[in-house]
Amino acid sequence: MRFVAVILFLVGTFSFGQRSDFNIEFNQADSIALKYKDASLNNLPVLVHNLTTGLNTEAEKFRSIYTWVCSNIENDYGAYQKTVKKRKKLLANPKALTEWNNSFTPKVFEKLLKQRKTACTGYAFLIRELATLADINCQIINGYGRTPTLILDKNSIPNHSWNSVELNGKWYLCDPTWSAGRIILEEDGPRFKPDYFDGYFLADPVIFAKNHLPLKREWCLLEEPPTFQQFLEGPVVYKNAFASNIIPIAPSKMNLKVTKNEKLSFLFSVPETYNCENLTIKLGNGPNGKLYEPSLTREQNLCRLEYSFEKSGLFDMHILADESIIATYVVKVKRK
């Protein structure tokens, strides 16, 4: 039955959704996940039973599983670096790369079970295994992840994995790796800081596609998925945009060119209750950056920001929502 459902999805007869489809606070699911904090991974069926018993809906059961994984598994950045290095080395030999991937996956899962540490592939694999045991259809999605510190180009190899899950006949997207916390790069090496982030759970496919591009475009869950070039050229979108579900619509490119005193316009999709007055502009980086109040207008669920540069030069332009950066553009301002 599930196999047929996936095939139907791939040929285009699919339905997708986002978290707002569910009028659920997920408090009970989260409390169950917390109750079984540090539970053993040695018996996955027992773990799934404990995490889902007493929950009535697929969404709540999946939420409990997702929250538990994101709160109990450490991101192994060292393993991620080794994986990227090996894949680059074997990129020109697809057969050898496939053989290495097949031999490497069991090792990743073995380390996950023993040390509770893994990279993105392990997170996605564990989510799928637990969901399957709960009789929930879940897929591993491989592709490209783009962050403010991870610059991709046309020669970049796939570097990330996440999940798509079917709930009540609709497909949803989530990223357990990025939900689990963040990697802090220090002098003595990278350090993982647990910091659960809810914005990547059942995210809106439109904003998800701003920093996730699957190898199979249909897993964007969009009628018109972006091309790889469009993905690379788009603005950098930060996790704070996911938290408020504020989606950059236009311009579609990060690198922009204008003349001095020319009005530059930005369009964002926002929730119905969001106050557009909370959107501001910051030019420059760090403490030396300066805040500016743009001209703001609203049309239904769209906020338009307009700003004119009084000086020529090259500017890092950050859009802030509630004082947190949600998107970055690079603007080259010419005199004429």
In whole numbers, what is the pLDDT of the chain averaged over residues?
88
Q: Which of the pair, 189 or 230, is modelled with greater confidence?
A: 230
Residue 329 has pLDDT above 50, yes or no: yes
Mean pLDDT of 75-97: 74
**What pLDDT was estimated at residue 97?**
66
pLDDT digits (tens, 9 = 90+) for 215-230: 899 999 999 999 999 9
**What pLDDT was estimated at residue 151?**
81
**What pLDDT was estimated at residue 186?**
75
Residue 207 has pLDDT above 70, yes or no: yes
pLDDT digits (tens, 9 = 90+) for 287-298: 788 999 999 999
Angle at the Cα of 269 from the Cα atoms of 265 and 146, rounded to 5 degrees: 85
What percent of the chain clears pLDDT 70, i.e. is strictly above it?
91
**What pLDDT was estimated at residue 185?**
76
Axis-axis angle for helices 58-72, 27-35 (nearest 10): 40
Residue 129 has pLDDT above 90, yes or no: yes
Mean pLDDT of 92-97: 72
- Band of pLDDT at residue 101, cut at 50, 70 and 90: low
Residue 186 to residue 93: CA distance in whole angstroms: 34
**What pLDDT was estimated at residue 111?**
80
Residue 9 has pLDDT above 70, yes or no: no
**What pLDDT was estimated at residue 7?**
35
The model's pTM is 0.89
- Band of pLDDT at residue 126, cut at 50, 70 and 90: very high
**What pLDDT was estimated at residue 68?**
98
What is the three-state SS of the chain? CHHHHHHHHHCCCCCECCHHHCCCCCHHHHHHHHHCCCCCCCCHHHHHHHHHCCCCCHHHHHHHHHHHHHHHCEECHHHHHHHHHHHHHCCCCHHHHHHHHHHHHHHHHHHHHHHCEECHHHHHHHHHHHHHHCCCCEEEEEEEECECCECCCCCCCCCEEEEEEEECCEEEEECHHHHHEEEEEECCEEEEEECCCHHHCCECHHHHCCCEEECCHHHHCCCCCCCHHHHHHCCEECHHHHHHCCEEEECCCCEEEEECCCEEEEEEECCCCCCHHHEEEEECCHHHCEEECCEEEEECCEEEEEEECCCCEEEEEEEEECCEEEEEEEEEEECC
pLDDT digits (tens, 9 = 90+) for 150-183: 889 998 888 889 999 999 999 999 999 999 998 8
- Using DSSP bridges, classify how beta strands 181-186 and 170-174 pair: parallel, antiparallel or unpaired: unpaired
pLDDT digits (tens, 9 = 90+) for 30-47: 999 999 999 999 999 999
